[in-house]
């Protein structure tokens, strides 16, 4: 049998073991979980604030995409090929046939729209004519997007440009 003094020491030892186990398996992990959740909460609040700041830009982009999709849908039943329609639009922009060449660069499939890519090479354009051409391509009646533009000053006259535009002619996805 144990004496009362030994019982007290044994009870205090068991209580110390229980306290140590509670601290190591319950309290310390709980505190670190609370800390990590509070850090995640701060990050989420910052992300939410950024999204709120981006809302006007996202709304503007949504309107632009809807407008472009309406143009794509409206022009889906045209009888001419995209190459013919694009050539006509470039000539309507005031460029003579001798100032540009247009070559197909292949199709791309997307979820909502497919795209027929074209490389438009232009020569002897002023900076202003190039800007007007780019603006007309982006905001015109044809469903096109300018994917890239490579512009170089001419070696013989720096007032003029030569350039290559990668243009995507948008078509509905089912076509």
- Kindly report, residue by residue over 11-55, the tens digit of the pLDDT: 889 999 888 888 788 888 888 888 898 999 999 999 999 999 999
Give the number of other CB atoms < 10 A from CB of residue 132.
Answer: 14
Give me the pLDDT at residue 1, please. Answer: 66
CA dihedral 129, 132, 134, 135 (to 10 degrees): 180
Nearest to 90 by CA among 81, 100, 77, 78: 100
Residue 175 has pLDDT above 60, yes or no: no
Question: Among residues 170, 168, 129, which one has the least CA distance to residue 148?
Answer: 168
């Amino acid at each position: 049998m144990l004496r009362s003094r030994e019982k007290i020491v044994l009870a205090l030892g068991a209580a110390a073991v229980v306290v140590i186990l509670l601290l190591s398996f319950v309290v310390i992990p709980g505190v670190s979980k609370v800390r990590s959740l509070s850090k995640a909460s701060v990050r989420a609040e910052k992300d939410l604030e950024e999204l709120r700041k981006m809302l006007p830009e996202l709304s503007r982009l949504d309107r632009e995409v809807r407008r472009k999709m309406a143009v794509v849908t409206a022009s889906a039943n045209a009888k001419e090929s995209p190459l013919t329609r694009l050539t006509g639009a470039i000539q309507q922009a005031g460029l003579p046939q001798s100032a540009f060449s247009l070559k197909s660069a292949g199709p791309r499939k997307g979820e909502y729209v497919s795209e027929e890519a074209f490389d438009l090479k232009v020569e002897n354009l002023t900076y202003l004519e190039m800007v007007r051409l780019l603006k007309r391509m982006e905001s015109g009646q044809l469903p096109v997007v300018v994917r890239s533009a490579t512009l170089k000053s001419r070696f013989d006259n720096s007032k003029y440009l030569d350039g290559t535009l990668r243009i995507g002619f948008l078509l509905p996805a089912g076509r």
